[in-house]
Amino acid sequence: AQSVTQLDSHVSVSEGTPVLLRCNYSSSYSPSLFWYVQHPNKGLQLLLKYTSAATLVKGINGFEAEFKKSETSFHLTKPSAHMSDAAEYFCVVSDRAGGTSYGKLTFGQGTILTVHP
């Protein structure tokens, strides 16, 4: 069984300050991990993915995340927040596809990021 916990439901930062969105996961296998962003009334956009290559993953819009197996964490960071970063962020873990050709994604409950001017 797999699960993902986003440790903060809301994060508020000032524009230009660092962003940290925390995510812990549980998986029986070596997981694939993703971060998605959702702006209001929009679909989810993939920010970045970890699939057992480099543990520090760089994504779009200046975001990055570090896979730490010993801590079962995959926190999302950005050095300097922009007003356009205000959105909801989802941490996602997947299991192996196996013979079914489908790997189920398990979504965290989301973290709403607010950016103040």
Partner 1 sequence: SQTIHQWPATLVQPVGSPLSLECTVEGTSNPNLYWYRQAAGRGLQLLFYSVGIGQISSEVPQNLSASRPQDRQFILSSKKLLLSDSGFYLCAWSVRSSGRTYEQYFGPGTRLTVT
List residues near partner 1 by CB under 8 A. 32, 34, 36, 41-46, 49, 90, 94-105, 107-110
C-beta of 14 vs 109, nearer to partner 1: 109
Nearest Cα residue to 19 out of 43, 35, 2:
35
Q: How far is the CB of 91 from partner 1 (least distance, A)?
A: 11
C-beta of 42 vs 116, nearer to partner 1: 42
Tokens 């296998």: give the residue.
29
Tokens for 36?
């998605």
Q: SS3 of 84, please?
A: helix
C-beta of 39 vs 116, nearer to partner 1: 39
